[in-house]
């Protein structure tokens, strides 16, 4: 490692210990905190590496003028602290510096908010406007350094697994990949535009066609999407692609990388070495989501047949009209007060859009309005699902709506009943996704469910004859604690199949050649079977740090309105700049 010593410091503010007692040292850093005790003045000096306490003789008029967050250089002697004054919370807590002299390197103006204290009460927009001050706060500073270590870990692992790191273009062509593109006007080509990549999808496939066997990069991706706490306009992903592979070969990368990463960075994490595989259909049935949180032990069951033809007319009639009934058990809840059930009913109406929430309480006897309408045999089948001393809640609707509502209720019950262990990290592969989905905005009423370049699990003949909604994709997601952290699969390398897939969604062969001409042409010259995936770096770091807000793990993020308040972006440009790229701005109506 390159030495950190210079004319400004002999040591960092995080490395001095009792073994350095008696040494003359020079330190530089930020004034984290000052405490005036009359005869003595204490300064906590902070840099990237830690904090060291510096002691000055009292009555120092020049030091009294120095505001917090000013940058100073001090010269002094390392001395041991009295036993009663040792601070076990920091590595330098056994020593302090008896200052001989100091020099102000830069003065700090009055701060918009304090760095010391780190109480999180400052409005986010103010912190983002002064992000360089915000990043000095201990928790956020540690988050960014944590992310740095994660990046190194990923690179080391990928190189160890035989991957080569390449960089792909940022200015590229606009392509339909599920979100709006950011477009960039060209000065040299009148009326034409580049696009920022939503992902390096076409390039990563072209790298395989170029004969490079295993590629990866930590790639910036850009999507003009509506923002929320777990989504940013610009994000980073571990992007990888491999030749001559099947689905298990690609998933082996995740099996190797993810458990090892979590164990490395979350020392007390509970991580299973075996990662289960769950079909999309099973995920929607058992968990009500294609992003199941497996820390939650609640399993949803289909009980449509139990209610079919029963005396519980609301459900029985709905079933005759195509509805299904999903049952969500709540373990050890039979002794909950009536108010608990009433609040869940209110939640179902307000948050899930249901007209009500039916349930049975299984104590010694089955209790509740639903139980009274069912015969003994039906109640017994439901008790098997719920278990004793538990409750069973019911959602009745069409299959898609019932799955989503049951999934949200499952999540709420898991949280309310304290069933989720925060130290547990549960990974799973979700696979066998539908290749196509119904979409009213598509010209044909059919759209791609995932990546349009995925490999359909169907022959060209089947693509011509089967119902598109019945075709599965050689596609998978990796899910961690209820969040999608990876998506990938095998790629379509047959140009005829590619053209047919786009035809089903309303894109003509001419459009495919126009939009994806580079890759379409490359397929004519020998493409290997290939596939890959991408892991969301920001989200992985967020989950490992247990941060509720994605912006807390990103160095310079935009706010929830997509604004960079620190740099002032987006902003207007001059008329000259607009003319150079042949753009005229229309007035907003």
Ordered DSSP codes for 203-235: HHHHHHHTT--EEEEEEEEE-----BTTB-SEE
pLDDT interval class at 53 (50, 70, 90): very high
Neighbours of 423 (CB within 10 A): 11
Whole-model pTM above 0.85? yes
Query: How many residues are recorded in the chain?
Result: 589
- Position 282 pLDDT exceeds 70: yes
> Mean pLDDT, to the nearest integer, of 487-506?
91
Helices (H), 266-420: 280-286, 304-307, 313-320, 338-350, 369-372, 376-386, 399-416
pLDDT tens-place string over residues 167-207: 999 999 887 666 789 999 999 999 899 999 999 999 999 99
Which pLDDT tens digit goes with each residue over 439-472? 888 889 898 987 888 999 998 999 999 999 999 9
Nearest-angstrom CA–CA distance, 81 and 86 = 6
Task: Let me know: does 480 contact 426? Beta carbons within 8 Å.
Answer: yes
- Is 227 or 562 the better-scoring residue by pLDDT? 562
Res. 298 pLDDT band, cuts 50 70 90: very high
Whole-number pLDDT of residue 378: 94
Burial (CB < 10 A; 0-12, 13-18, 19+), residue 54, is buried
> Which range (130-134, 228-232, 321-325, 334-338) has the least confidence?
228-232
Q: How confident is the prediction for the chain on average, in pLDDT?
A: 93
Residue for token pair 């002697």: 77
Cα 222–chain centre separation: 15
Instruction: Give 356's pLDDT tier (boundaries 50, 70, 90).
Output: confident
DSSP 82: P
DSSP per-residue codes, 127-148: HHHTHHHHTTSHHHHHHHHHHH
Q: How many CB atoms are closer than 10 A to CB 56?
A: 23
pLDDT at 214 over 90: yes
pLDDT(531) > 90: yes
Give 258-275 as a 3 state SS string: HHHHHHHHCCCCEECCCC
pLDDT at 177: 61
* Residue in the structure block whose two tokens are 């047959």: 494
Rounded-to-integer distance, Cα 315 and Cα 311, Å = 9
């Amino acid at each position: 490692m390159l030495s950190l010593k210079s004319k400004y410091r002999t040591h960092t503010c995080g490395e001095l210990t009792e073994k350095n007692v008696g040494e003359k040292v020079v330190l530089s850093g930020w004034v984290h905190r000052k405490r005036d005790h009359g005869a003595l003045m204490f300064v906590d000096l902070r840099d990237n590496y830690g904090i060291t306490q510096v002691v000055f003789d009292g009555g120092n008029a020049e030091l009294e003028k120095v505001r917090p967050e000013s940058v100073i250089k001090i010269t002094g002697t390392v001395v041991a602290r009295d036993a009663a004054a040792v601070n076990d919370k920091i590595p330098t807590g056994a020593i302090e510096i008896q200052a001989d002299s100091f020099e102000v390197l830069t003065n700090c103006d009055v701060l918009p908010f304090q760095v010391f204290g780190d109480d999180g009460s400052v409005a986010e927009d103010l912190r983002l406007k002064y992000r360089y001050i915000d990043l000095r706060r201990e928790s956020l500073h540690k988050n960014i350094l944590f992310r740095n270590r994660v990046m190194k870990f990923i690179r080391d692992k990928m190189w160890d697994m035989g991957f080569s790191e390449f960089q792909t273009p940022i200015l590229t062509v606009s392509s339909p990949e599920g979100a709006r593109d950011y477009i960039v006007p060209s000065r040299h080509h009148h009326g034409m535009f580049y696009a920022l990549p939503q992902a390096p999808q076409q390039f990563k496939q072209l790298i395989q066609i170029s004969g490079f066997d295993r590629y990866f990069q930590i790639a910036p991706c850009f999507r003009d999407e509506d923002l929320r706490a777990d989504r940013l306009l610009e994000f980073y992903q571990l992007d990888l692609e491999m030749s001559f592979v099947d689905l298990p070969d690609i998933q082996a990368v995740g099996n190797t990388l993810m458990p090892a990463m979590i164990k490395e960075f979350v020392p007390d994490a509970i991580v299973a070495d075996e990662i289960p595989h769950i079909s999309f259909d099973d995920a929607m049935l058992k968990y009500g989501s294609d992003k199941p949180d497996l820390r939650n032990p609640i399993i949803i069951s289909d009980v449509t047949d139990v209610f079919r033809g029963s005396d519980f007319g609301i459900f029985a009639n709905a079933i005759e009209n195509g509805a299904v009934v999903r049952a969500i058990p709540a373990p050890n809840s039979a002794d909950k007060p009536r108010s608990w059930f009433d609040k869940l009913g209110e939640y179902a109406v307000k948050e899930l859009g249901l007209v009500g929430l039916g349930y049975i309480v299984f104590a010694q006897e089955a209790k509740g309005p639903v139980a009274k309408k069912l015969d003994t045999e039906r109640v017994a089948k439901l008790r098997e699902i719920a278990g004793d001393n538990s409750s069973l809640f019911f959602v009745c609707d069409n299959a898609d709506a019932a799955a989503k509502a049951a999934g949200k209720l499952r999540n709420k019950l898991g949280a309310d009943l304290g069933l989720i262990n925060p130290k547990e990290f549960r990974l799973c592969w979700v696979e066998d996704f539908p290749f196509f989905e119904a979409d009213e905005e598509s010209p044909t009423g059919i759209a791609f469910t995932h990546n349009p370049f995925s490999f359909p699990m169907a022959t060209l003949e089947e693509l011509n004859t089967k119902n598109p909604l019945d075709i599965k994709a050689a596609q998978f997601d990796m899910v961690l604690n209820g969040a999608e952290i990876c998506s990938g699969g095998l790629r379509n390398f047959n140009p005829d199949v590619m053209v047919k897939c786009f035809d089903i969604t309303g894109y003509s062969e001419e459009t495919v050649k126009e939009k994806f001409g580079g890759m379409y042409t490359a397929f004519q010259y020998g493409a290997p079977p290939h596939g890959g995936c991408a892991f969301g770096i920001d989200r992985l770091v967020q989950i490992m740090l247990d941060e509720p807000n994605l912006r807390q793990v990103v160095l310079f993020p935009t706010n929830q309105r997509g604004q960079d308040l620190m740099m002032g972006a987006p902003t207007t440009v001059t008329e000259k700049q607009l003319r150079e790229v042949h753009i005229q701005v229309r007035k907003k109506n």
